[in-house]
């Protein structure tokens, strides 16, 4: 089976004069390139198992969402950019689920066949809900909990979208105006710095964890090397 990757935009390197948002975007582009490098290094000339397909799906989704995210940021389309951040975090959680199951190859095969991760159980018998996966990784990445909480309301239609369609014009009179354009001209890219930084960290986590997982592979068993201790996260 062949393996191919898409080319990424190479512009946007940082400099000492770059703004915080542009620096975060440059970091994101670097994380995308590094994720591609992981697969280009590990995938050629090897046999494939279901875990490989799982990791490839993770990477494919991550890179597609990253490109769309950068486009939304450039368009000042924060509503969709923040929803994409939530989806990127979802990708991180599903990737890290591999660390908690008893048989990663069987788990990956079941997902490939159509089973949902959040309806499957970890090795400790707990169902792998988003809450379970967040609890497992938040000690080393405390920010994931607040990002999850602050962006979940943007996936399905909610009050967040209603509030985004109005703007306060006069604090004294309470006058508001409706606003239904796709972008917000009252903001700049710098206003979205925290969102960009969070997306970068999610994407970097995907690259690091994928690289770690490839290193753990036993080439015969197609699973991490045997061991009963709690896996150390990358």
Asked whether 24 and 190 are in contact (CB, 8 A), the reply is no
The answer on pLDDT for 2 being more than 60 is: no
Both tokens of 88, joined, read 């990127």
Half-sphere exposure of 80 (CA within 13 A, CB side): 17
Task: Give the model's pLDDT for residue 234.
Answer: 75
Eight-state DSSP code of residue 4: -
* Span of 7-11, 142-146, 160-164, 224-228 with lowest mean pLDDT: 7-11
| Closest by CA position to 184, among listed 75, 106, 47 | 75
Task: Give the model's pLDDT for residue 209.
Answer: 96
The answer on pLDDT for 202 being more than 70 is: yes
Mean pLDDT across 115-130: 96
Eight-state DSSP code of residue 231: P
Task: For residue 4, name the pLDDT band (cuts at 50, 70, 90).
Answer: very low
Task: For residue 37, name the pLDDT band (cuts at 50, 70, 90).
Answer: very high
Task: For residue 18, name the pLDDT band (cuts at 50, 70, 90).
Answer: low
The string of pLDDT tens digits covering residues 158-193 is 998 998 898 888 888 888 888 888 888 888 999 999
Mean pLDDT across 76-100: 97
The string of pLDDT tens digits covering residues 90-99 is 999 999 999 9
Task: Give the model's pLDDT for residue 231.
Answer: 64
Chain-wide mean pLDDT for the chain?
Answer: 87
pTM of the complete model = 0.85
Task: Give the model's pLDDT for residue 123.
Answer: 96
The answer on pLDDT for 220 being more than 50 is: no
The string of pLDDT tens digits covering residues 48-60 is 899 999 999 999 9
Q: CA-CA distance, 156 to 159, in Å (whole number)?
A: 10
């Amino acid at each position: 089976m062949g393996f191919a990757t898409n080319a990424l935009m190479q512009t946007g390197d940082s400099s000492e004069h770059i703004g915080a948002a542009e620096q975060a975007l440059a970091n994101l582009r670097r994380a995308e390139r590094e994720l591609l490098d992981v697969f280009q290094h590990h995938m050629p000339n090897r046999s494939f198992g279901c875990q490989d397909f799982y990791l490839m799906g993770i990477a494919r989704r991550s890179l597609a969402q990253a490109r769309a995210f950068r486009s939304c940021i450039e368009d000042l389309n924060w509503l969709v950019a923040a929803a994409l951040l939530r989806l990127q975090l979802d990708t991180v959680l599903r990737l890290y689920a591999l660390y908690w199951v008893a048989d990663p190859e069987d788990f990956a095969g079941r997902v490939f066949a159509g089973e949902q991760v959040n309806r499957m159980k970890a090795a400790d018998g707990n169902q792998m809900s988003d809450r379970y996966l967040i609890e497992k990784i938040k000690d080393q990445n405390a920010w994931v909990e607040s990002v999850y909480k602050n962006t979940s309301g943007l996936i399905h239609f909610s009050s967040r979208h209603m509030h985004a369609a109005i703007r306060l014009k006069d604090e004294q009179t309470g006058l508001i105006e409706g606003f239904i354009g796709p972008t917000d001209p009252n903001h700049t890219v710098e206003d979205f710095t925290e969102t960009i930084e969070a997306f970068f960290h999610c994407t970097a986590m995907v690259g690091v964890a994928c690289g770690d997982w490839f290193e753990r592979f036993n080439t015969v068993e197609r699973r991490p090397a045997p061991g009963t201790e709690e896996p150390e996260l990358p």
